[in-house]
Structure 1
């Protein structure tokens, strides 16, 4: 494990990021800790907490996942994907909104679900599951609003300025949606063990996590046809995250949470994306070693 930790820290340094990681063998409990209890900004990773809450309420009969929701183009949370990027009105079920929220990280879909479920319910769910350091502070629209406000009159262009980025509340775990890598692997393990929800709803959550379209972070470390990766990314200026579960054909199941920050403000940093997969692979290989 010591050698694996050294290689993980070296990979983070080579990619120009500060990284926090926790990896957990879901069945044996073996783990690898590289800053696992450090508070981190979850960004869109927090959509996983919302997804679990949605299915918890569905299992309890509080809501029906086939319930239809009007997605008006007015006051729609912005974003580059899904309903958030569409121009016209739409009508979707709660479960299809959940699919968009997780597969393409649709902010508008997430906030429509939050409107139905409630922010307090998300926090009750994470508290029930023992995630003591995980908290949802605001909706995704509110999160984006803080970035716009903190960026000032220069707008999105000013986010290229490191001095502007340092004042963003969205990047301060004390003032935004937050968690720790260990809390996130605990949540994933609860989903994979059917402890977070009933088996039916646990299977639905796992299915949606497996439909995420982004291959450039966690999945990039496991380029094998017989290894399945299910996860959720999160991104903010200088922040690149992903949490997920890696499943091997021999039955091995490993929850991994990787949260990174970079000093560079560039939106495109392929090495910073790829190191999430590299670090996860190093961690899982260490857990699988005899």
Structure 2
């Protein structure tokens, strides 16, 4: 991995994107037809897409609705992880602090501790591993309770993420979905989406009423993690390791099926919403921050083309940035 542009981890990164003039070229010196092809890819997959891809070292970018507000879903775990490592560096918390999670106290979810039946005891640091690698909701909520929601939002502000706000925990998100849909289970929410007015009532799908950000904010945050600017170098290295261990290959990674290209990321999923943010690193040292958020026009839980377009759109953007 190329090490460049290291700066202070306490605030806004030192390097800003260089922009070229208008005309046949878009912002960051990227041809406008790249965004048109990405838009066509989104339409073909039946989604509305929001994308920002940035060369971490030159600032060149590809943007499609990159400044529109989007629902974070489980991507909120990224600023949460950053805040955890900043607090650990400041001595506010001990990453090795043991936590006991009893079954009745755990946030619902399909993976990790959320799906386990017996009492679990592990460190805060290991909980962060589960919340990133398998998007464990129970683990994330324990970390969020320990770190503090206000602290996460203060970190976002300190890092210049003006449009990033964590409003709800995983438990609160789940509860509002059931309440707004009038459903008994998460699966029931999907079955009710076809009913008139149900989707519009769901606060969890409205970026103005739930945890939110923009694709540009997320690539900014990822770039700071990869440049050791979001936290001290040891903390940033620990975060990069966790993103590299994420188990889901069907979104961002699907666009880069090459043995020598490293893809790291964090997904987010809610009814009709499929997201992933991450980093793509090439053997020649090129590294790119990627944020793709999508909203499906169809209320279908399994929609492979909506997952795959995250990878294909990201690949189009990265390839355009790699051309002279």
Taking structure 2 as the reference length, the TM-score comes to 0.88
SS in 2 for 1:243: strand
SS in 1 for 2:104: coil
Unaligned residue ranges in structure 1 (runs of 5+): none
By how many angstroms is 1:74 displaced?
Answer: 1.4
Instruction: Tell me whether 1:213 sits opposite 2:243 in the alignment.
Output: no
Taking structure 1 as the reference length, the TM-score comes to 0.98
Q: Distance in 2 between matches of 1:166 and 1:263?
A: 13
SS in 1 for 2:182: helix
Match of 1:140 in 2: 170
Moved over 6 A (4+): none
Instruction: Tell me whether 1:256 sits opposite 2:256 in the alignment.
Output: no
Match of 1:67 in 2: 97
Instruction: Tell me whether 1:76 sits opposite 2:106 in the alignment.
Output: yes
Q: Distance in 1 between matches of 2:272 and 2:168?
A: 20
By how many angstroms is 1:232 displaced?
Answer: 0.2
Q: Distance in 2 between matches of 1:178 and 1:158?
A: 21
Match of 1:95 in 2: 125
Within a 5 Å distance, the mapping from 1:1-290 to structure 2 comes to 1-153=31-183, 155=185, 156-160=187-191, 161-162=193-194, 163=196, 164-290=198-324
Kindly indicate whether the alpha-carbon contact (under 8 Å) linking 1:159 and 1:165 is maintained by their aligned counterparts in 2.
no
Unaligned residue ranges in structure 2 (runs of 5+): 1-30
By how many angstroms is 1:158 displaced?
Answer: 4.5
Evaluate the alpha carbon distance shift between residue 201 and residue 13 of structure 1 in structure 2; reply closer, same or farther with a 3 A threshold: same
Give the count of matched residue pairs: 290
By how many angstroms is 1:154 displaced?
Answer: 6.0
Kindly indicate whether the alpha-carbon contact (under 8 Å) linking 2:67 and 2:214 is maintained by their aligned counterparts in 1.
yes
Q: Distance in 2 between matches of 1:17 and 1:74?
A: 37
SS in 2 for 1:146: helix
Evaluate the alpha carbon distance shift between residue 57 and residue 230 of structure 1 in structure 2; reply closer, same or farther with a 3 A threshold: same
RMSD: 0.9
Kindly indicate whether the alpha-carbon contact (under 8 Å) linking 1:146 and 1:170 is maintained by their aligned counterparts in 2.
yes
